[in-house]
Each structure stands twice: as C-alpha cells, then as structure tokens.
Amino acid sequence: MEEKQSASLERRSAVATLLQDIDDNTLLVASVGTPTLDVAAASERPQNFYGRGAMGTASSVALGLALAQGEKRVIAVLGDAELLMTAGTLATIAVMAPENLSLVVIDNERYGETGLQIAATAFGVDIAGMAAAAGLSPTAVIRTEADLHGALDAIRIGPGPSLHVIKVRPEKPEKVPLAYDGVYLKNRFRRALFGDEGIT
Ligand SMILES: Cc1ncc(C[n+]2csc(CCOP(=O)(O)OP(=O)(O)O)c2C)c(N)n1
C-alpha cells in the first residue's frame, strides 16, 4: 500500500474539545505515551486511568471497566498503534457490546511516542472499518473541526460500543507533568470510584 497524508487537526486541541467540561460520571482510559498526555493536558483528574508504559492494554481495560461500571460512561482515548497492537479486542468488545463504551483513536499514522516512525494507518489500514466489520456501532472517521463537533454527542452520551478515529497531524506535542507511578495512579483511580475501601 502507498503511504497517504491528509490530516489537519491538531491532537491537543482535538482532545481538549472532546473532553471539555467532561462530567464526573465519565471515566477516561488513556493509552501509553502521547494519548495519556493529551488527556492529562485536557482534563487531569482522578477518574482517569492512564496506561503508563503498558502498550496494547487500554482497549481491554476500557472494556472491563465499561462492563463493571455500567452506570458510568467510559471513553478510551487510544493511539492508532496501541489499538492495532491488540486489535482482536475489537471482536470481544463487539460480542460483549457495552453500550456505555466509546473508543476514540487519535490517529497520527505514526508511533508518535517513540519518534514518529510510520505506522500501519499511514498505508491506508482503516481502523474504523475494522471496528465496523467487527460489529461496533457507530463508527466514523473525523477529519475536521466540524466532524469533531458533530460526533461529540455520539462519543460522550450516545449508545455504543462506538469507535471514532480522529485523524491528526503527526506532531510531537509538549510533555505534560504527570505521575509515572502506576500503583499510585491505580489507587487514585480506585479511590475515586470506591473511596478508601477500594484500596487493597
Ligand atoms: C509492549 C510495548 N511495546 C512498545 C512500547 C514502546 N512504545 C511506547 S508508546 C509507543 C508508540 C505508541 O504509538 P501510538 O499508540 O500510535 O500512540 P502515539 O504516541 O503515536 O499517539 C511505543 C512503540 C511499549 N511501551 N510497550
């Protein structure tokens, strides 16, 4: 396949739009590296679970969380390489079909965190198409501000499991200060959900 180049959206502002005034009933899962820092830059809060270092795990974590926390909305903000690393999870999500789960793929067509090496979606691999074929609904590719605003309700409150791909420019945004201690972040998240009884 040939390499393609198209996106004009900037990832930090797209994620800020996505998460603007997000409510306490929404749990956020963010994948390793740049998506984690996108989410932290937009809305750092205890109800966020960050995949610090653990590439490939975020869609499964988000699925489990959506099933276990059926009264909450779960939005997973994922890298394209992250999603593809464990793409079989799309099948499990389709079969389990939690309506409260929204996957949002920040698709820069690169392994951004490790130096912007070219990744599969640059050659036309269609993550939204893969998700639709698995059975997720709705699915869509977002390329403009207007597309993004048009998809906000579907992502934030609409029935899922959904998957939206946001095509963004391949940039390396600034680092954001955020704890790197996974146990601390996990305990903080559990405390936000269950209070002190959630800490074992
Ligand atoms: C199992 C595993 N493999 C590789 C890495 C190194 N790694 C961290 S982030 C990353 C690239 C992630 O790319 P993507 O998910 O598309 O996110 P982006 O930074 O491009 O937004 C890689 C290869 C890792 N942390 N864990």
pLDDT at 143: 97
Does the C-beta of 79 come closer than 6 Å to ligand 1?
yes
**Could you tell me if residue 2 is inside a domain?**
no
Residue 31 domain-assigned (yes or no): yes
Mean pLDDT of the chain: 95
Distances (CA, A) of 67 to 10, 12, 59, 99, 101: 32, 29, 12, 9, 9
Assigned domain for 91 exists? yes
- pLDDT 10s digits, 84-126: 999 999 999 999 999 999 999 999 999 999 999 999 999 999 9
* C-beta of 113 in contact with ligand 1 (< 6 A): yes
The answer as to whether 162 is a domain residue is yes
Distance from Cα 24 to the centre of ligand 1, integer Å: 28
- Which residue puts its alpha carbon closest to atom 26 of ligand 1? 55
pLDDT at position 5 is: 53
The domain in which residue 27 lies consists of: 11-198
Distance 57 CA to ligand 1 centre (A): 11
33 CA from centroid of ligand 1 (Å): 6
For 158, the 3-state DSSP assignment is coil
Residue 5 lies in a domain: no
Mean pLDDT of 166-192: 95
Inter-CA distances, 42 with 105, 180, 200, Å: 16, 18, 30
pLDDT bucket at 6, cuts 50 / 70 / 90: low
Give the mean model confidence (pLDDT) for residues 71-84: 98
Ligand 1 near 55 CB (within 6 A)? yes
Task: Say which residue the tokens 């869609």 belong to.
Answer: 59
Does residue 1 lie in a domain region?
no
List the CATH number of the domain containing 38.
3.40.50.970
Indicate if ligand 1 lies below 6 Å from the C-beta of 108: yes
Q: How many domains does the chain have?
A: 1
**pLDDT tens sequence across 129-165:** 999 999 999 999 999 999 999 999 999 999 999 999 9
Tell me: the pLDDT tens digits for 49-69? 999 999 999 999 999 999 999
Q: For residue 153, tell me if it sits in a domain.
A: yes
Q: CA 103 to CA 85: how far, in whole Å?
A: 15
Calculate mean pLDDT across residues 187-195: 95
Q: Which of 149, 42, 20, 21 is nearest to 30 (CA)?
A: 42
